[in-house]
């Protein structure tokens, strides 16, 4: 009995070893699975290799088709670095521009409330004042500049736009509650709408040439629509915001897309074909402060630059408008100062804005005009010659060719442009 038990005990580990050894069938299955896994891995690596090979030739996927084809034809594989280099070079050039005062100013000495260039004629600058006066300044021939008759105190011009076909016509919206078409050749203006109320006035205006449409916003959140000749397109104005409409603008890419900005802390996107109530908003961007302006980038129309009423600039990227860049910048609101607005450089996404220093924000800060990269939000430079001017630059605007920058501080308008040596080059 003892011997048998010992034999059994010795045979047990053999059985265990036999159990632990895989059978021939199992080995065959495992080998097949390993081969399949290897083939899958090889297929994945081939796909990854082809994707990487293709991506090396793709210039960039985050832009429009025209930019894509242009960069592909130029062989620009690393367009991000190329674009950043371009922005840096432009920023360095702009910061070294010379300061030139205007040779002709307003008839009445009043605070500047609007500044804008003609969209196709780079030598025509429009200036609006707190008294309702308009100066059409010609940079090539200052003596031929035109001044309109001031409308009086309280007629501050909130927004102006050139007529798309005739540079001697100008649309305007003012705090007297009127939307007008000005004849800069000396004729009386055509009044499109008058609220006839001390409690309601206009605060924003824009035109859409492709739709021959004029829109104006008031201080209670309503928007009015007119045709090019002043006919009312809506019998009743549409209430789109809870507060004052500070800015509205049509998209350069799509004439049906409209953006509005308000002091109710929101920026809203609209389809002009379906615009009747706040519920019709396509998308709403909420902020912590009231909004002064919201501009589409003129370079490609795929970025939106938002200026709040305190210390932040927001740059949203289309078409989702969800990705954003936040730039901390002091430009707080003040009653006797034209609201500061950031604007675009026309040929590249460069942001320009005046600085209103604040000790809580940054100690020993200086005024002047700041430049930022619209792709990264990085601070580029400060326009050096702007430091020699006293005051705060509320409005800054480039002409359509990007070789002149008009800025206003208080009652005066100044211009920055390349030095004579740079112009010769």
Report, as an integer, the average pLDDT of 320-324: 87
Q: How far apart are CA 220 and CA 267, in angstroms?
A: 15
pLDDT at 29 over 60: no
Name the pLDDT band for 47 (thresholds 50, 70, 90).
very low
Name the pLDDT band for 31 (thresholds 50, 70, 90).
low
Q: How far apart are CA 385 and CA 424, in angstroms?
A: 20
Q: Which of 63-77, 167-181, 278-292, 314-328 has the lowest mean pLDDT?
A: 63-77
Report, as an integer, the average pLDDT of 255-260: 96
Whether residue 117 contacts residue 126, with contact meaning beta carbons closer than 8 Å, is answered with yes
Report, as an integer, the average pLDDT of 320-329: 91
pLDDT at 9 over 60: no
**What integer pLDDT is reported at residue 361 of this predicted model?**
83
**What integer pLDDT is reported at residue 419 of this predicted model?**
82
**What integer pLDDT is reported at residue 75 of this predicted model?**
61
Report which of 236, 266, 231 is spatially closest to residue 248, judged by C-alpha positions: 266
Mean pLDDT of the chain: 85
Name the pLDDT band for 54 (thresholds 50, 70, 90).
very low
Q: How far apart are CA 263 and CA 242, in angstroms?
A: 8
**What integer pLDDT is reported at residue 32 of this predicted model?**
55
**What integer pLDDT is reported at residue 30 of this predicted model?**
55
Report, as an integer, the average pLDDT of 369-393: 94
Q: How far apart are CA 345 and CA 92, in angstroms?
A: 13
Strands 190-194 and 238-239: what pairing? unpaired
Reported as a single tens digit per residue, the pLDDT across 59-73 is 344 455 676 677 667
Name the pLDDT band for 314 (thresholds 50, 70, 90).
very high
pLDDT at 56 over 60: no
Three-class SS of the chain: CHHHHHHHHHHHHHHHHHHHCCCHHHHHHHHHHHHHHHHHHHHHHHHHHHHHHHHHHCCCCCCCHHHHHHHHHCCCCCHHHHHHHHHHHHHHHHHCCEEEECCCCCCCCCCEEEEEECCCCCCEEEEEECCCCEEEEECCCHHHCEECCCCCCCCCEEEEEECCCCCCEEEEEECCCEEEEEECCCCCCEEEEECCCCCCCEEEEEEECCCCEEEEEECCCEEEEEECCCCECCCCCEECCCCCEEEEEECCCCCCEEEEEECCCEEEEEECCECCCHHHCCEEEECCCCEEEEEECCCCCCEEEEEECCCEEEEEECCCCCCEEEEECCCCCCCCCCCCCCEECCCCCEEEEECCCCCCCCCCCCCCEEEEECCCCCEEEECHHHHHCCCCCCEEEECCCCCCEEEEECCEEEEEECCHHHHHC
**What integer pLDDT is reported at residue 16 of this predicted model?**
46
Q: How far apart are CA 265 and CA 17, in angstroms?
A: 76
User: CA 271 → CA 202, 301, 303, 361, 366, distances in Å?
Assistant: 22, 16, 18, 38, 42
**What integer pLDDT is reported at residue 204 of this predicted model?**
98
Name the pLDDT band for 385 (thresholds 50, 70, 90).
very high
**What integer pLDDT is reported at residue 257 of this predicted model?**
96
Strands 350-354 and 343-344: what pairing? antiparallel
More confident site: 181 or 6:
181
Residue whose entry in the numeric block shows the structure tokens 């919206």: 173
Name the pLDDT band for 406 (thresholds 50, 70, 90).
very high
**What integer pLDDT is reported at residue 319 of this predicted model?**
86
Report, as an integer, the average pLDDT of 394-417: 96
Reported as a single tens digit per residue, the pLDDT across 101-120 is 898 888 888 999 999 999 99
**What integer pLDDT is reported at residue 33 of this predicted model?**
60
Quote the pTM value.
Answer: 0.81
Report which of 206, 207, 276 is spatially closest to residue 246, judged by C-alpha positions: 206
pLDDT at 168 over 80: yes
Report which of 259, 246, 267 is spatially closest to residue 208, judged by C-alpha positions: 259
pLDDT at 51 over 50: no
**What integer pLDDT is reported at residue 36 of this predicted model?**
56
Name the pLDDT band for 34 (thresholds 50, 70, 90).
low
């Amino acid at each position: 009995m003892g011997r048998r038990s010992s034999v059994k005990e010795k045979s047990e580990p053999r059985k265990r070893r036999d159990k632990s050894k895989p059978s021939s069938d199992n080995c065959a299955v495992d080998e097949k699975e390993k081969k399949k896994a290897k083939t899958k891995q090889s297929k994945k690596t081939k796909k990854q290799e082809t994707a990487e090979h293709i991506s090396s030739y793709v210039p960039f996927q985050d832009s429009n088709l025209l930019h894509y084809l242009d960069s592909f034809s130029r062989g620009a594989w690393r367009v991000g670095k190329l674009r950043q280099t371009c922005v840096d070079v432009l920023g360095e050039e702009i910061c070294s521009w010379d300061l030139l005062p205007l040779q002709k100013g307003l008839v009445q000495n009043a605070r500047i409330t609007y500044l804008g260039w003609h969209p196709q004629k780079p030598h025509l600058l429009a200036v609006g004042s707190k008294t309702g006066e308009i100066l059409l300044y010609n940079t090539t021939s200052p003596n031929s500049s035109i001044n309109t008759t001031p409308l009086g105190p309280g007629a501050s011009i909130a927004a102006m736009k050139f007529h798309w076909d005739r540079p001697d016509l100008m649309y305007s919206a003012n705090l007297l509650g009127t939307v007008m078409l000005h004849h800069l050749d000396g004729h009386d203006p055509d009044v499109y709408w008058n609220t006839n109320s001390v409690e309601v006035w206009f605060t924003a205006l824009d035109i859409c040439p492709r739709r021959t449409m004029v829109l104006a916003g008031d201080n209670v959140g309503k928007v009015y629509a007119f045709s090019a000749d002043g006919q009312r397109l809506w019998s009743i104005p549409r209430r789109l915001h809870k507060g004052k409409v500070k800015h509205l603008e049509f998209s350069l890419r799509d004439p049906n897309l409209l953006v509005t900005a308000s002091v109710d802390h929101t920026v809203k996107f609209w389809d002009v074909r379906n615009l009747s109530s706040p519920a019709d908003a396509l998308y709403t961007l909420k902020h912590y402060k009231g909004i002064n302006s919201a501009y589409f980038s003129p370079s490609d129309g795929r970025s939106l630059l938002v200026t709040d009423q305190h210390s932040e600039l927001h740059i949203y990227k289309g078409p989702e408008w969800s990705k954003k860049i936040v730039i901390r910048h002091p430009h707080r609101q003040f009653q006797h100062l034209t609201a500061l607005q950031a604007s675009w450089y026309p040929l590249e996404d460069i942001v320009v804005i005046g600085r209103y220093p604040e000790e809580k924000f940054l100690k020993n800060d200086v005024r002047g005009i700041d430049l930022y990269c619209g792709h990264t939000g990085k601070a580029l430079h400060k326009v050096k010659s702007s430091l020699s001017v006293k005051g705060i630059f509320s409005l800054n605007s480039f002409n359509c060719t990007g070789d002149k920058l008009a800025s206003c501080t208080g009652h005066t308008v100044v211009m920055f442009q390349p030095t004579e040596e740079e112009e010769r080059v």
